[in-house]
Amino acid sequence: MADDEIILSELDDEELVAQMFDDLYDGLREEIEEGVRILLDRGWTPYDILTKALVGGMTIVGADFRDGILFVPEVLLAANAMKGGMAILKPLLAETGAPRVGKMVIGTVKGDIHDIGKNLVSMMMEGAGFEVVDLGINNAVEKYLEALETEKPDILGMSALLTTTMPYMKVVIDTLKEKGIRDDYIVLVGGAPLNEEFGRAIGADAYCRDAAVAVETAKSLVGRKHNQIGA
Ligand code: B1M
């Protein structure tokens, strides 16, 4: 071991989170996984680790990608490190023992391969008691329709991270309308370039700024739907 090697477990919480930001930036998956385990041992909640250490680090990566300081290969490594950390947290977030409150089919739209945010939403929804069917990335309208037919979810969730792919959400919603099945589902959309106005304009039930908002919105709209059915 080199003299100057950093021992993660010897850092205090603040230093460790700062180091994890650096390690995420450098795409060091094993170090990120170790950092996550240390924070769990110190009593951090999985949610805090996810939002403060992992998403916090990814925000820095995003800014430098935008500014041309980082390029696709580096960002892929950072995403891989983030996924390592998320994989440890996923079962813990799902372990809340909450009763099944509803079912969601979710996928990233056609032409778009970004999946970190979608995966985060899936994890948080599972943690809140939803059953989640994840269709992955690059989904054409036919894939969504097929899943709605076979899975019969309460919610259809769509994610898009590119200004060029977000209009595809409208293609999916318009197709649901044409088939007369739009109102059978709650449609939630999310992704960094979207906003509430866009969500309204394409005919979604709600735009969700982040995973926590997605969970709250899903709970409230599913509750309302079940009340209507029961009434
Ligand atoms: Co991409 N990329 N990327 N990228 N990438 C962005 C999105 C970009 C903003 C970077 C930039 O320039 N600043 C930019 C888009 C610009 C634009 O459209 N205006 C961009 C670009 C241009 C590209 C390429 C075109 C680059 C190129 O090839 N020249 C290319 C496109 C590939 C494609 O999809 N066809 C590309 C590729 C990639 C990588 C493969 C390298 C990698 C993706 C790896 C992966 O996902 N497995 C990548 C990454 C990592 C990013 C950034 C850096 C980070 C995205 C991320 O994971 N954020 C991103 C910059 C940024 O967003 N700041 C960028 C963390 C995640 C937790 O947040 O995804 O926003 P987010 O999800 C949040 C909310 O948005 C919400 O909840 C989540 C959790 O809180 N949410 C939902 C998301 N989906 C939801 C669904 C819901 C509800 C809420 O449904 C109910």
pLDDT in tens, 23-65: 999 999 999 999 999 999 999 999 899 889 998 898 898 889 8
Q: Please, are residues 81 and 23 in contact by the beta-carbon 8 Å criterion? A: yes
Between 224 and 111, the more confident residue is: 111
Q: Are residues 78 and 191 in the same domain?
A: no
Q: Is the pLDDT of residue 2 over 60?
A: no
Q: Which residue among 65, 99, 133 closes a domain?
A: 99
Residue 225 maps to a domain: yes
> Residue 1: pLDDT band by 50, 70, 90 thresholds?
very low
Q: Which residue has the higher pLDDT, 34 or 128?
A: 34
Please give the residue range of the domain that contains residue 123.
100-231
- Phi (first) and psi of residue 17, to 5 degrees: -65, -40
CATH code of the domain covering residue 49: 1.10.1240.10
Q: Is residue 3 part of a domain?
A: no
Q: Does 110 lie in the same domain as 223?
A: yes
Atom 35 (ligand 1) nearest CA:
112
Residue 229 is predicted with a pLDDT of 67
Do the Cβ atoms of 133 and 153 come closer than 8 Å? yes
What span, in angstroms and rounded, lies between the C-alpha atoms of 72 and 120? 21
Q: What's the DSSP call for residue 98?
A: P
Quick one: pLDDT at residue 99? Answer: 64
Overall number of domains in the chain = 2
Residue ranges around ligand 1 (CB below 6 Å): 55, 58, 61-62, 65-66, 72, 75-76, 79, 106, 111-118, 120-121, 157, 159, 161-163, 188-193, 208, 210-211, 214
Residue 5 lies in a domain: no
